[in-house]
Every structure is written in C-alpha cells, then in structure tokens.
Chains A and B, each alone.
Chain A
Amino acid sequence: KQEVTQIPAALSVPEGENLVLNCSFTDSAIYNLQWFRQDPGKGLTSLLLIQSSQREQTSGRLNASLDKSSGRSTLYIAASQPGDSATYLCAVVTGSARQLTFGSGTQLTVLP
C-alpha cells in the first residue's frame, strides 16, 4: 500500500526566507506527483504537477522536484511571503483509477 509522508508537519519562518518542504512515498510506481495548497476551511488548490518522466516543475516562486527512484519530492518556495501561509499537501497518482494518495501536509506560517 502506498504511503506518503511529509516533513516537517509544521514550519514557521520569517518573511523573505527561502524554504523547502519534503515529501516521500513508499512505492515508486507512480504516474504523477501533485502539490496542493489548502487555506483554512477551504478547498485544495493545485500548485504543481510533476509527471513521472519529469525531474522538476516551476511556477513563479515555486519549484518542485521529483526523484522517483528514491521516492522523494521537494517543494521549494523562494522569498516567502505572509500570503504563502497555508497547509501544503503532497499527493501521488497511482492505480488504474489514477487516484491520489495524500500526505498529512506541512502547515506553513510566514511571519511578517
């Protein structure tokens, strides 16, 4: 059974800092890996999708990498801002239904 782990569970940083969120998964037979953002009481917003054949994806200040063989992904956030405060979720796409298996998330707080 696929298991996804995110470290750290919570992170508090001052504004302007660069930071890295980590995600690991136990079964490397994945189609994609997707990073989401969730604000309190809200739905999930897709940030980046990395297909299994790719090594990284970039969107603005966000960069996500994927090392499928070692079962790891990182989300790099450059020049963090208070508006980046949210929970960040990593999920891998597996199975015939292309369903997502989620990690428990990293709760990020960026202090002004």
Chain B
Amino acid sequence: DAGITQSPRHKVTETGTPVTLRCHQTENHRYMYWYRQDPGHGLRLIHYSYGVKDTDKGEVSDGYSVSRSKTEDFLLTLESATSSQTSVYFCAISDSSGRTGSYNEQFFGPGTRLTVL
C-alpha cells in the first residue's frame, strides 16, 4: 500500500469554526489531491498540488484553501465550516515521472469523515 495517512480520521465541529485536515505521504510523489465524496455526487476534486507551493483549484474549491510547504504534506483548510461541507474527504497522490511503472496512477488515503453541526 502507498504510504498515505490522513489526520484526523474523524472530526465533528460547529458551523463557523476553522478546520484543517492533513495529508501526509512517504512516497515522494509530486502530485497531491483533495477530493470529497458525497452521496449522489460521487467523488469530486477540491484542490490539487503539482509541487511544493504549487497549488490550483478543482471542481468544488469554494470555501476551501490548501497549502503545501513540504513535498510530503498537503493541508486542506475550511476557513469557516458550513453544514454543506459535511463529507468524507480523501487525499490522493500520484507520480508523473513513470518511475513507479504506473504513470499517473493515483493512490488514496483512508479518508477523513467530517461532520459540521
């Protein structure tokens, strides 16, 4: 299994509070992604990173920000959590170099279940 961890694994918070989710990888992969999974909507891309300090928006980026100060860590921040951000959040990584033999194959972390009351 790819070395990807997410923390926390579960979190309950109140509307209006800031929340930061962390994704940590030990694979030295270039690309990192944040997705959310919701019933009826499937998995959707929030933000992604293509290198240290290089990030960009995905399909559903409103209300979220990200940071990547080190190759191994990718943080997702909800500045002021809302009930519509209740979801399961997945981090993923991929390697664009082809070194692994599986060009651009994405590997997922175990997920963070976030509930905003």
Kindly identify, within residues 39 to 95 of chain A, every residue whose CB is under 8 Å from any CB belonging to chain B.
42-46, 49, 51, 89, 91, 93
- Find chain B residues with CB under 8 A from A45 CB: 108
Evaluate whether A105 and B58 lie within 8 angstroms (CB atoms) in the complex, with A32-B104, A98-B94, A99-B33 already known. no
Tell me what chain B mostly uses at the interface: helix, strand, loop, or mixed. Answer: strand
Q: Which residues of A contact B90 (CB under 8 A)?
A: 43-44
Contact partners of A93 in chain B: CB under 8 A? 104, 106
| One of B11-19, B42-50, B77-85 at the interface | B42-50
Complex Cα distance, B103 from A31, in Å, reads 9
- B74 / chain A contacts, CB cutoff of 8 Å: none
The reply to whether the CB of B107 lies closer than 8 angstroms to some CB of chain A is yes
Footprint of A on B, CB under 8 Å?
Answer: 31, 33, 35, 42-45, 48, 50, 56, 58, 90, 92, 94, 96, 102-111
* 25 A-B pairs (CB sep. < 8 Å): A32-B103, A32-B104, A32-B105, A43-B90, A43-B108, A43-B111, A44-B43, A44-B90, A46-B106, A46-B108, A49-B102, A49-B104, A49-B105, A51-B103, A91-B43, A91-B106, A97-B48, A97-B50, A98-B94, A98-B96, A99-B45, A100-B35, A100-B43, A100-B106, A105-B42
